[in-house]
Amino acid sequence: MSPRILLADDEANIRRMVAALLESEGFDTAEAANGTAALAAVERDPPDAVLLDLMMPGGPDGLATLDQLKRMAPDLPVVMMSGKANLADAVKATKLGAFQFLEKPLTPEGVLTTLRAALALSRTLAENRRLHEALGHADPLVGVSKAMEDLRALIARVAPTDARVLITGESGTGKELVASAIHRQSARARRSFVCVNSAAIPKDLVESEMFGHERGAFTGATERRVGRFELADGGTLFLDEVGDLGPEAQAKLLRVLEAGVIERLGGEKPVRVDVRVIAATNKDLGKASQHGQFRDDLLFRLNVLPIHIPPLRERPDDIPPLVLHFASRQAARLGRPVRFDAGAVQLLMSYPWPGNARELANILERLAILAAGDVVTADDVARVVPVDGGGAPALAPEGWSDVALAEALDGFERSLIARALSASRGNVAEAARRLATDRANLYRRMRRLGLEPPRNVAG
């Protein structure tokens, strides 16, 4: 489908000439003679981009129209144009979110190049948002433990500021979810949230990925590339695994944080960017700094507001609500109910989850797919989760791993009770009968083992 461009200008001959140019290049066009008509057109049938005149009588002017457009459609690229603009107008338009400012008289090359760049940026942002939604990065921070309550309270205090944040925690604890929550609760929420996995960028491409390059900047640079800092202009840039950046990349990142400007590879002038940087790592950057593996001046710049996410094994109370959350997601994906019974949840709570919430989500997905019915039981969990029942890895049949006898016995008892609860559909009295004990004794044992009263978790 051809991109559709809205031309908003009070001069009919300009609309006619620009429309003819764009249509000859394969674009579809729509026209609006003033700001009010432009707003109505976008609300009625959103275009892929807007060419907006600065001076338009008969309604809101270009800047007022731009402000309202960005409230209606934050990701809609808007190119401003005017023959009477001054520097103050251009700066204000940029702050309001204009992609670029074109001076009249317009040139065909200028219009086409700018629109194609704006559309490319729009596609990139849309794909970025789609991937984040598909990967669950817009998920709420699920949990009922005190640690999660404290984390949410800290995010609420940190988010409204523009200060840099360094998020630490083991892999799989949800560092990107925390960064996304900070962005969504900030004044930058209407602008882009751009992620960079620092560990995944080859060393020789870090500068191009981060700061972009001009056409011909190096062999293979056949077109201009917008870097991640420019994509995040006005919004938030999340630097995941920042501890994996090499010395050169660390030096260049430090310069950007200090000066607030970037230089594209092959570019002739610096580009000022307004970006809030949130970094994350599963490494101890303090130790890395002491050993010369991470710049201490960069660490000081990044670690203005530190946030630590505790591992899932330290907050088992969060497992039942996480199971409910992930079960609901799997039910939506599979198109059928997915429920984890009380015994299944108890057994999941007994596992230490070295991969944290990410590992839990993967295991629950596997259980939901492989379950014979709509209810996942403790027996189903025991067949998939690699534990001996107490959270320790199962002993290999051909080898031996040291394990405390009391710990192993507690683990076996915990697993046995969980399976009995599954078989009894959460009825403690029936589970006690199956285990040849009385209900009071079973409750005592459950309390000693840290097992909660049974609750069904459904999706």
CATH of the domain at 429: 1.10.8.60
Q: 157 and 276: one domain?
A: yes
Q: 108 and 241: one domain?
A: no
Q: How many domains does the chain have?
A: 3
pLDDT per residue as tens digits for the range 302-328: 999 999 999 999 998 899 999 999 998
Residue 118 neighbours by CB distance under 10 Å: 23
Identity at 252, one-letter amino acid code: K
- pLDDT recorded at residue 391: 44
Please say if the pLDDT value at position 388 is more than 60: no
Helical axes 146-158 vs 175-184, angle rounded to 10°: 40
CB 343, CB 377: distance < 8 Å: yes
Q: 255 and 159: one domain?
A: yes
pLDDT per residue as tens digits for the range 343-386: 888 889 888 898 999 999 999 999 999 887 889 988 888 888 86
| Whether the predicted model's global pTM rises above the 0.75 cut | no
Token pair of 295 as six digits: 């710049």
Q: 264 and 297: one domain?
A: yes
Q: 303 and 434: one domain?
A: no
Most confident of 280-294, 373-387, 431-445: 280-294
Residue 22 lies in a domain: yes
* Residue at which a domain ends, from 290, 310, 330: 310
Domain containing 452 equals 314-458
Residue 239 lies in a domain: yes
* Residue at which a domain ends, from 265, 280, 310: 310
Rg of the chain, C-alpha, whole Å:
28
Residue 130 lies in a domain: no
DSSP sequence for 314-351: G-GGGHHHHHHHHHHHHHHHHTS--EE-HHHHHHHHTS
- pLDDT recorded at residue 205: 79
* Residue at which a domain ends, from 292, 310, 328: 310
Token pair of 59 as six digits: 């309604």
pLDDT per residue as tens digits for the range 241-250: 999 998 988 9
Residue 147 lies in a domain: yes
Identity at 397, one-letter amino acid code: P
CB 243, CB 288: distance < 8 Å: yes
Q: 195 and 330: one domain?
A: no
CATH of the domain at 66: 3.40.50.2300
Residue 75 binned pLDDT confidence (cut-offs 50, 70, 90) = confident
Rounded Cα gap, residues 425 and 209, in angstroms:
54
Q: 408 and 376: one domain?
A: yes
pLDDT per residue as tens digits for the range 180-221: 999 999 999 888 898 988 888 877 778 788 888 777 666 666
Q: 422 and 277: one domain?
A: no
Place of tokens 């500068």: 207
